[in-house]
Amino acid sequence: MARGWFITFEGGEGVGKSTQISRLAARLSGSGRTVLTTREPGGSPGAEAIREMLVNGAADRWSPQVEALLMNAARRDHIERTIRPALARGDIVLCDRFADSTRVYQGAAGGVSSEVLSILEELVIEECRPGLTFVLDLPAEEGLARARSRQAGEGRFEAKGLAFHQKLREAFVGLAAQEPERCAVIDAKGAVEEVAARIWTVLAKRAPELILGP
């Protein structure tokens, strides 16, 4: 199947995923790699339209069950239109959030059962699973303060309160522990360059072919 590399970034609000994705993309592109950066929910026109509905409005606008369905509908479109074609071309795909976010936000924190989420994953993702996942880890208070200061206007999930966000953090770290081959927890405290260096070190260890060239 795919010739490229599928790498995802996960974590709670305000942990710095998008900053780190841009830095890593620039570094890999600088060494001659073709990199596609994308995000979820979103990453294709149809999935971006679904994102609008998901990230705006009152916190209780959708139940976690409906969220899980909408996230997966968006994911399928994103895979079909963006991720799979890029991997088939041999690109490195860096994706801001993927199925682990559904496991954590709608599953661990929202109460949707892991059986239901597994069925949806099987239906929607099929073979298109990440080979490497960086879980950026930061105390919930710190991440939430950063996310709120951004004022990006997409506050639906940020409005859910500190206890919810603490649960997210624990769930992300727990999920990484269940799949240590795929997941690497990165301490997201400190300067942007320090966090970027931690990510690069893990990448060099787990996917040396991406660093060393063809």
Interface residues toward ligand TMP, by CB under 6 A? 13, 39-41, 55, 71, 96-97, 101-102, 105-106, 157
Residue whose CB is less far from ligand TMP, 105 or 134: 105
Min dist. Cβ of residue 50 to ligand TMP (A):
11
Residue whose CB is less far from ligand TMP, 19 or 200: 19
Q: Tell whether the torsion through CA atoms of 66, 171, 96 and 137 is positive or negative.
A: positive
d(CA 61, CA 40): 19
Residue whose CB is less far from ligand TMP, 16 or 210: 16
Residue whose CB is less far from ligand TMP, 5 or 172: 172
Q: Tell whether the torsion through CA atoms of 22, 195, 84 and 111 is positive or negative.
A: negative
DSSP 70-92: HHHHHHHHHIIIIIHHHHHHTPE
Tokens matching residue 96: 């801001």
Number of other residues whose CB lies within 10 A of the CB of residue 135:
25
Min dist. Cβ of residue 213 to ligand TMP (A):
31
Min dist. Cβ of residue 67 to ligand TMP (A):
6
Min dist. Cβ of residue 55 to ligand TMP (A):
5
Count of CA atoms in the C-beta half-sphere (13 A) of 56: 8
